[in-house]
Structure 1
């Protein structure tokens, strides 16, 4: 058995929420919008297609032909805007299994990815992509089998227009991808988030704001569909998470700002 068949790795290609924010202030953590790659026992899973998926695609050009599964949490612009620039999708011989929940208006993930590439928004249609694209409408809460040994679980998150969180299970290990969700304002922890995070080796969580920003009287972020790093720590403790990764950073948060806030949160994790 090769080394890759015994490994579960997570690579972050885009960690920024809302809009890409390149520049000197975001070099350390990156300015690309969400895209996370998981290589699990020889299979490749990709979560979201923000601008980070363009960089991922460039890195994969030397490894073709490719087969991978792409899971979308939802289709807000920052999570799909990189997909039209994902070069491996234009290459014949590659195969991508693309998963997403049906939106509240009834549109499928295939329809939404297609619509963003329609003229006059984009110069070429989705159909010009040469790879074999297989689309699946997921039933949230129903486990998905990927390859021989991977089971992907899902749960609904608290976000305007809906979003889905995922948990990847493989040989007793688990990684949870829980972004674009707003914590409950009644002091209770979201049961769906706890389910996805329970005993996870890696827990990736939406920490767009600080508690101070979220509760600010002048510019409260309540109702915007995102959470805080302080809430991330609470969930990680309650769910017995081994490694917490805060994610979906506000485009206004510089590397210095994140270092200052995350340093405080690390001190509070036993």
Structure 2
């Protein structure tokens, strides 16, 4: 499978000069299997717009689906869906899901329909055109070819879930918008154990983190500690703070690699194959 980053910025998109290398679009990561398999997407921040343009250039065989899984529903993780080109194509099948044994969602579809009401957007969700399904599911379900997805609820205002994809003998963990607190959450280490790839929130530096208690995010130092304790092979740090430009993030990456050499700050367009 191939992992590709389409949105790596946290909280709000940025487009100023000096933010282009690491990217200014909010969270979106895609996982591609074999050429004719479903496409699995984690979160629909503004980065999903470029993913949509890429998918519209591909041939979609009958039965092939786009599956969009959400860590949670804060604005920076859903705001790109109205600009996702396949959503306007009647030939496309899009499954919008949230996974977790502890989900308590009364009206899942309404979460996305609300931001597309006429007060906020000119096209209603029901008028987009694609064949949508909105289904909250339990954890440990097979929603990707030859793969099982497990979830774990972690600490974040309003709640959020990490995802663990196990497919063809490889393991990828997507863990963003997580606040560990003073100590690393042991259950996250267990959930991440042995992953080939860990994508982890690292919005703040260790020096910044105390100033943002309760905001729901991690430092790069905490992300590395999770990777070390879980014996992760490759670590990607994401959800970059909107105040951190390319020069700043290069310095952070250099510091991170001194401690964990196989660690990279995620960049828009970056691909990694398993």
After TM superposition, is the score higher than 0.5?
yes
Q: Over aligned residues, Cα RMSD in angstroms?
A: 1.7
Is the CA contact (8 Å cut-off) linking 1:197 and 1:239 kept in structure 2?
A: yes
Structure 2 residue runs of 5 or longer lacking an equivalent are: 262-274
Which residue of 1 is the match for residue 32 of structure 2? 39
The Cα of 1:64 is off from its aligned counterpart by 4.4
Listed as ranges, the matches of 1:101-140 within 5 Å are 106-139=105-138
Aligned to 1:259: 250
State the distance in 2 between where 1:190 and 1:244 align. 17
Which of residues 250, 254, 259 in structure 2 aligns to 1:268? 259
The change in CA–CA distance for 1:148 and 1:260 in structure 2 (over 3 A counts) is: closer
SS, match of residue 168 in structure 1 = strand
Higher relative contact order (CA 8 A, sep 6+): 2
Query: Could you tell me which residue of structure 1 aligns to residue 43 of structure 2?
Result: 48
Q: Which residue pairs with 2:181 in the alignment? A: 184
1:58 to 53, 67, 83: 53
Hey, what does 2:10 align to over in structure 1? 17
Number of equivalences: 255
- Contact 2:38/2:145 (<8 A) preserved: no
C-alpha displacement at 1:196, in angstroms? 3.1
CA contact (8 A) 2:42 2:70 kept: yes
- Deviation, 1:195, is 3.1
Unaligned runs of 5+ in 1: 1-7
Higher helix share: 1
**Equivalent position to 1:84, from 82, 85, 88:** 82
**Alpha carbons of structure 1 residues 101 and 89: separation in structure 2 relative to 1, 3 Å:** same
Task: Check the 8 A contact 1:104/1:162 in 2, yes or no.
Answer: no
Shift of 1:55: 0.8
CA–CA distance in structure 1, aligned partners of residues 219 and 149 of structure 2: 25
What residue is the counterpart of 1:244 in the other structure? Answer: 235
Helix, strand or coil at the partner of 1:50: coil
Deviating beyond 2 angstroms after TM superposition, the runs of 4 or more aligned structure 1 residues are 40-43, 101-109
